[in-house]
Amino acid sequence: MNAIERPPCTRALERSLARKTLFGRDVPGASCHIHPGGRRSSRRKRRKLRTPRALVLLLTILSACYESYPLLDFEDEDPRADAGLPPRDSGVDGDGNGGTDEDETDTPDPDTPPDCAKASARFITNIVDFEFGPGQNHNQESGFPHALYGPPRANDTNSVVSLGNGGFVIVEFENNIIVDGPGPDFIVFENPVPHFVELATVSVSNDLITWHEFPCTAAQDGPDYGSCAGVGIVRSHPDNGIDPLDPTVAGGDAFDLADINVAEARYVRIQDREDLVGPAGVFDLDAVAIVNARCP
């Protein structure tokens, strides 16, 4: 019986015979025929052939995609870039020491006291994050973010920026921190024109992770607005002598950290009430002022 006339060896018998000779060479006197080239060697060849084919196919697809969209510029579609703001945090805390990696370059040294001496440190000096909603876009292009900085400007519609329905903004005050002192601790200025009630929910945080919310429980038509921003008319303007840091005369909506059992806060988030809509249903932010600062 020659090699071709013998039946193929079983896998177990083939392995046994392979110890005595090379794959692909029949053992004289064996009752079966060893698979030419051996099973293992043929598998290895198939693996070697598949890898370069897959790479060539992947590179071909990537090349075709790039050639189809060579002029696509994502930065042009990013409102954060247009407003001169840094990219949104990734939420990644690579070294596990709290906060996100992007925040850490901005984290103040705890041994350095906040600079509260400047009058500007009582008002918004930086936009940490934002997202505009639909419906209204007043001053989003030309006024944001600088219109939100500094003191309120009563009756000046150019000093406010619409958040859009459901939109939000997170603000901070250079190195200053809001603390729970006597009475109201900060004021949110929204409404420069009488008879417009456009409501938002106000929250505070020290780390941008844990937020404490003032209960904005307003219904569509009031009259009980709860602890919402956007109710009180703005009275103060740099030209009229009304103190923007005095809650009894400044106007706007004052908030007391004691009402939500918070001792201090570095960030304020203001978010339009998405469920309240209509002509007067979108919040326009003018300014935020710290009444009780850590080192006034």
Stretch that binds Ca ion, among 38-46, 88-96, 146-154, 278-286 (CB under 5 A): 278-286
How deeply is 111 buried, as exposed, middle or buried, from its count of CB atoms within 10 A (0-12, 13-18, 19+)? exposed
How does DSSP classify residue 77? G
Q: Note whether 162 and 282 are within 8 A (CB).
A: yes
d(CA 204, CA 94): 25
> CB 187 → Ca ion: shortest distance, Å?
12
Three-state DSSP class for 272? Answer: strand
Given 256, 262, 271, 288, the residue binding Ca ion (CB under 5 A): 256
In terms of CB distance, is 135 or 150 closer to Ca ion?
A: 135
Site for Ca ion in 149-168 (CB under 5 A): 165
Q: Please report how close the Cβ of residue 184 comes to Ca ion at its closest, in angstroms.
A: 6
- How many residues sit in the footprint of Ca ion (CB under 5 A)? 9
CB of 199 to Ca ion, least distance (A): 7
- Is residue 264 a contact point for Ca ion (CB under 5 A)? no
Question: Are 123 and 150 within 8 A, CB to CB?
Answer: yes
Alpha-carbon distance 288 to 286, whole Å? 7
Is residue 272 a contact point for Ca ion (CB under 5 A)? yes
97 vs 248 by CB, closer to Ca ion: 248
Whether the CB-CB separation of 8 and 39 falls below 8 Å is answered with no
- Please tell me whether residue 18 adopts helix, strand or coil conformation: helix
C-beta of 83 vs 258, nearer to Ca ion: 258
CA distance 95 to 116: 31
**In 3D, which of 172, 161, 186, 185 has the Cα closest to residue 125?**
172
Does position 260 bind Ca ion by CB under 5 A?
Answer: no
Instruction: Pick from 276, 288, 291, 293 the residue near Ca ion by CB under 5 A.
Output: 276
Q: How many CB atoms lie within 10 A of CB 166?
A: 20
The one segment of 45-53, 71-79, 212-220, 267-275 that binds Ca ion by CB under 5 A: 267-275
- Restricted to residues 180-199, the positions that interact with Ca ion (CB under 5 A) are 180, 185
Phi/psi of residue 129, each to 5°?
-160, 155
Nearest distance from residue 131's CB to Ca ion, in Å?
14
CB of 181 to Ca ion, least distance (A): 5
- Closest CB to Ca ion among residues 70, 182: 182
- Which positions lie near Ca ion, rule CB under 5 A? 165, 180, 185, 256, 258, 272-273, 276, 281
